Structure 1
């Protein structure tokens, strides 16, 4: 089973906040372009690193929000249904948390 959209399927947990996430990611995209420009303009390395840290924090915030939405919607729904789908969703959430902790 994939996470591809399926006709008549329930929306993803983040769907009600999709525009907010898209807006935040566009902001991050602009920050990354700004960092590239700083490098091109030979800006002070500590200033570049400060901006990279800000981008990392912004991405981490988006990731944690999406994880929270996933736990509150997808995992909760699967656990209520029980069975192998619940185990799958719990394993996915655990793997996602492990990836976030490593980054």
Structure 2
């Protein structure tokens, strides 16, 4: 791992809060299934949790592009290209999910 700080460091507390909220949503979903909650109500909560995860993903991707990719590009063209390729692979995974 290099010395460069990750782009999300400035918003780390925000990301942790959001992830803890998502963790709570997951527990809520488990409880709903245990309590035999109506399917559509569970699906509504799954949708809300999915949107929350997507928001975290997009925020992290934005931070990565603005900080990590820019930093690598300033180091060298090769490092910049490697970070862009890495970001493109991550975007592909996000789009497919």
Please say whether Structure 1 and Structure 2 have the same fold, judged by a TM-score greater than 0.5. Answer: yes
Distance (whole Å) between structure 2 residues aligned to residue 42 and residue 60 of structure 1: 27
Aligned length, in residue pairs: 97
- Provide the TM-score with structure 2 as the length reference: 0.95
- Provide the TM-score with structure 1 as the length reference: 0.90
What are structure 2's unaligned runs of at least 5 residues? none
Q: How does 1:23-102 map to 2 (within 5 A)?
A: 23-102=17-96
Computed over aligned residues only, the root mean square deviation of the Cα atoms, in angstroms, reads 1.0
Shift of residue 82, structure 1, vs aligned partner: 2.1
What are structure 1's unaligned runs of at least 5 residues? none
Larger helix proportion of the pair: 2
- What secondary structure is seen at the aligned counterpart in 2 of 1:92? helix
